[in-house]
A and B are shown apart, each in its own frame.
Chain A
Amino acid sequence: MAYLIQGETGGWEVVVGLEVHAQIVSQAKLFSGASTAFGAAPNNQVSLVDAAMPGMLPVINEYCVEQAVKTGLGLKAKINLHSVFERKNYFYADLPQGYQISQYLLPLVGEGTVTLGMPDGSQREIGIERLHMEQDAGKSMHDQDPNRSFIDLNRSGVALMEIVTKPDIRSAEEAGLFLRKLRSILRYLGTCDGNMEEGSMRADVNVSVRKVGEENYRTRAEVKNVNSVRFIQQAIEIEAERQVEAHESGAGVVQETRLMDSARGETRPMREKEFAYDYRYFPDPDLLPLDLTPDYVDAIAADLTELPDDKQQRFVTDYGLSAYDAGVLVADRETADYFERVTHATSEGGKTGSRDAKMAANWVTGNLFGALNAAGLSIAESPVSADALGKLLDLIADGTISGRIAKDVFEVMFETSRAAGDIVEEKGLKQIIDTAEIGTVVDRVITDNPDQAEDVRAGNDKTIGWFVGQVMKATSGKANPQAVNELLAKKLKG
């Protein structure tokens, strides 16, 4: 069911396009050798080029080009073998050159696609319009001194990719799914760390609304520089509601740039001066056009890592997982890798070969995720390694412990990082599978509870469950549940 806003005049559809600015993972900046590491003291990562000293010239960082090409391929997009860097001219104190080197008419990457897995199991394709490379500006700090502003040029010249979608997004929810998927793809590729808190990913959000059934787009407004998935979704909802009201009241929507005020829950127009630039783009005469060979692109394509969609498909085909479980596992590359390490027992001391993949998936998405969430840890910080979890699964598979005991063992493993086998050994948690030993306990429980035994014999099967519980309690949970069930049925019902 499509997301609609019910106005006074009927249903309105929301139309959203995103411009995502993603910082390229690289050691050095786009056109200089200065470091890009986050968190350095102000103005400690600034080359002569970044500070726009007289006579300084940009030289393209080829690794950044490779990263952008890789990203284009990951977005299933056309790589333009000929692209051109242009200058976007405007004055600001944190823009030392007085222009930003960007790509305009001829971007590096053309049209592509990102596929979203919707909660109902369907798929949605979001078109990519283009991807281009550009340099970041520095940072102005207006809150350090009552009379002066300070400039930090550490970010000046850092390589960004601007990824522009087609107006294919139809709800805040889809925008969120798109951003998470994009982030996942970028992180798989290692081309952007997707860290929104550190500003590695930011977005401008273009929003318009139209009546259900309308073919043409109405006037859009752009909400600038929103830096979290939640705020982006909030911005879409707030802006769409505002536009529906504006259309219905007859006030209309003007094409403009707006700022998100998340504290007030509103968007407001930027002052005209803040955006009314004529950027006077023209090709940067300090740089040659970027001309790539098909061989160069093919070599990057051949080396491209498996992307989330392909991995998900493989998990379904090879491991028999549901599309949903596979989707959860592949969302994050480290989770997917962890899962596959759990599934493939190759470790010393464990058995080799494949483990039960469904069971592995359940343990990763269930117990492990639960424990990590509760502890506030990422999967990379997990106290239980994939090998250790695999060995725990081996103990279940060979009947050494039951699934229920395994949960207790896992808790100890998570707290202590100790091996499952050691914990089972030390605490004597090995499952009792000796039917004679279990029979003795069963006999005693039946003898001790004649009324309940009579109840079962009278045909109340539910009471068998009560007996199972008593036997498990008497064996501290170690009795093999299947053996307990069989013995109880035999002894109580003949």
Chain B
Amino acid sequence: MTALLTVLTIAKARDGLVAGDFSAEELTTAHLEAMGSKRDLNAFVTETPELALERARASDARRAGGDVRGAMDGIPVAVKDLFCTEGVLTTAGSHILDGFRPSYESTVTANLIEAGAVMLGKTNMDEFAMGSSNMTSYYGSVKSPWRGSEGQDLVPGGSSGGSAAAVAARVSMGATGTDTGGSIRQPASFCGIVGLKPTYGRCSRWGIVAFASSLDQAGPLTRSVRDAAIMLGAMAGHDAKDSTSAPFALPDFEAALTGDIRGLKVGIPKEYTLDGMSNDIQALWDDGVKWLEEQGAECQELSLPHTKYALPTYYIVAPAEASSNLARYDGVRYGLRVNGASIDEMYENTRGEGFGEEVRRRILIGTYVLSAGYYDAYYLKAQKVRTLIARDFRQAFEVVDVLLTPTAPTAAFAIGEKTDDPVAMYLNDVFTVPASMAGLPAISVPAGLDADGLPLGLHLIGRPFDEETVLRTAEALETAAGFTARPDGVGA
């Protein structure tokens, strides 16, 4: 029974709860057991079983009294450790937040609580969401539930790697992630699950530890497109506490899943074809075009000429904002403090010990590009290029409704690979970063396996605040792809 419960989608679990087939407590217990059996993945920094059971029982009690808060009521989910959770350790994967228990709940997780969702724990992540492999966490690497063809341990992707691993390993039915340059979509692709980055401004950033404020956006990682629609509906919404939150009413995302994409215009941006990209990826992309056309969509090649500048531009803008956002971790008020003879020495000791290598690298890059004499050449120019990237998309969306690309240039790689070459690591984000720079909604859908049997994702990018078209198209891909592969030993 319990094993069966953990393989359900959120939509199926909702139906089971409604039908009284099982209780929220049973559902949660099954997942807590799965969590216990998958500790070797290191997907969680903090497990919150008591809190989970308490909320599950509360959900059951509500349901018994006829008060059901919607599709997420009683659904166990994991929360990336970047979201501040009241009274629960929140680390951002960093040593510098040692012992930090917020007195407040982030808007997104508060919305989930309000919708009745049950938090299983806080998931591991790249430190301050900076990474594409989950190898930069102070709490150690997360292992993907998938294994390499020779049994080697693989990265789950990053930075929402703990969330992706937990969902793929059937420890959690869904998880929150955050995406700054691909941190939801790339791990979703690596782990064979769905990852949705909504439009910038769709989910409140209030209470999410900031990495790059103009890019950060929360979204769901789930095992189906429908689940992503359901979970986004419970996370999103306008929040007056975030000035960049969009003051729009929420559509019913699940209702957008009509299964009908006839007449949909799909753009295939030619700049997303990389030299040396594996045949598997190209073949999958071609399959995607075919699948959509078979369902009545019209695909056409088009050009987004500034795409090639997106990644270098991102690696100026994001570190610049991060260098300033992370200035508050100074040892004065919370988290780690390493004393020194003077205040400057205390800062140096605290930040030197508290931040890992990748975070220090990005703070240095960001400080450099904002410095007098370099600002115009780097930061200002990057902002101008960002405007051009956004314009490319705007012009494309005058012609098409949605864009189809691969999610990542490769499948998951082995733990320990690429750590000595930051630029190779940054290339993981080459397909996901442009949509981030333009603030557009985008989703990764598991669509196939490579020659080594590892999952690959296809990536859809939509118009601002048109998650509905993105989700509808994603479901069409999902249906056609029929992706049923599971990591070994999961859901058996």
Contacts and interface: CB of A to CB of B under 8 A. Distances in A.
Q: Tell whether A and B belong to one assembly.
A: yes
B332 A87 contact: no
A99 interface: yes
B321 A285 contact: yes
A280 to B, nearest CB: 4
B209 A99 contact: no
Interface of A: 48, 51-60, 87, 89, 91-93, 96-99, 149, 151, 278, 280-282, 285-288
B240 A59 contact: yes
A48 B102 CA distance: 10
Given A89-B370, A93-B343, A285 B328 contact: no
Interface string B345-380: 001000000000000000000010011100100010
Given A54-B97, A54-B100, A89-B370, 10 more contacts: A51-B333, A53-B102, A53-B333, A54-B210, A55-B102, A59-B240, A98-B326, A282-B375, A282-B379, A286-B243
Nearest to B106: A55
Contacts of A92: 343
Interface stretch (B17-25, B138-146, B200-208): B200-208
A282 B371 contact: no
A281 B212 CA distance: 16
B242 A57 contact: yes
Nearest to B379: A282
Given A282-B375, A285-B321, A55 B210 contact: yes
A285 B437 CA distance: 13
Given A54-B92, A59-B241, A91-B347, A280 B324 contact: yes
B492 interface: no
Contacts, number: 98
14 contacts: A48-B104, A53-B102, A54-B102, A54-B210, A55-B83, A55-B207, A57-B205, A59-B241, A96-B333, A98-B324, A98-B326, A99-B327, A282-B324, A287-B243
Contacts of B324: 87, 89, 98-99, 280, 282
Contact of A280 (B84, B210, B332, B371): B371
Interface string B63-99: 0000000000000000000011000001010000100
B343 A278 contact: no
A429 B371 CA distance: 79
Contacts of B84: 53-55
Contacts of B244: 285-288
Contacts of B214: 285
Contacts of B367: 280
Contacts of B343: 92-93, 149
The B interface, classified by DSSP as helix, strand, loop or mixed, is loop
A98 B330 contact: yes
Contacts of A97: 327-328
Interface of B: 83-84, 90, 92, 97, 100, 102-104, 106, 205-210, 212-214, 240-244, 320-321, 323-324, 326-328, 330, 332-334, 343-344, 347, 367, 370-372, 375, 379
A105 to B, nearest CB: 11
Nearest to B347: A91
A418 B482 CA distance: 96
Given A93-B332, A288-B243, A55 B370 contact: no
Contacts of A278: 371-372
Contacts of A149: 343
A70 to B, nearest CB: 22
The 5 closest A-B CB pairs, nearest first, are A98-B327, A285-B213, A285-B214, A280-B370, A52-B328
Most chain B CB within 10 A, of A56, A96, A97, A99, is at A56
Given A97-B327, A99-B324, A99-B327, A53 B242 contact: no
**Chain A interface SS verdict (over half):** loop
A91 B330 contact: yes
Nearest to B215: A285
A53 B373 CA distance: 31
A89 B210 CA distance: 16
B370 A285 contact: no
A83 to B, nearest CB: 14
B324 to A, nearest CB: 5
A53 B334 contact: yes
B328 A98 contact: yes
A56 to B, nearest CB: 7
A59 B243 contact: yes
B241 A57 contact: yes
B327 A89 contact: yes
A285 B212 contact: yes
B296 to A, nearest CB: 40
Given A99-B327, A280-B370, A282-B379, A53 B104 contact: yes
A54 B370 contact: no
Nearest to B210: A55
Contacts of B372: 278, 280
Contacts of A53: 84, 102, 104, 333-334
A69 to B, nearest CB: 19
Given A280-B370, A282-B379, A55 B205 contact: yes
Contacts of A288: 243-244
Contacts of B347: 91
The listed residue with most B CB atoms (<10 A of its CB), out of A97, A98, A285, is A285
A59 B107 CA distance: 15
A91 B100 CA distance: 21
B9 to A, nearest CB: 30
B249 to A, nearest CB: 20
Contacts of A281: 370
Contacts of B102: 53-55
Contacts of B212: 285
A287 B245 CA distance: 10
A58 B243 contact: yes
Contacts of B332: 93, 96, 151
Contacts of A282: 320, 324, 370, 375, 379
Contacts of A87: 324
Given A54-B84, A55-B206, A60 B333 contact: no
A91 B327 contact: yes
A151 B330 CA distance: 14
B205 A60 contact: no
A54 B209 contact: yes
Nearest to A59: B243
Contacts of A60: 243
Contacts of B210: 54-55, 286
A57 B333 contact: no
Contacts of B103: 48
A281 B372 CA distance: 9
A282 B378 CA distance: 12
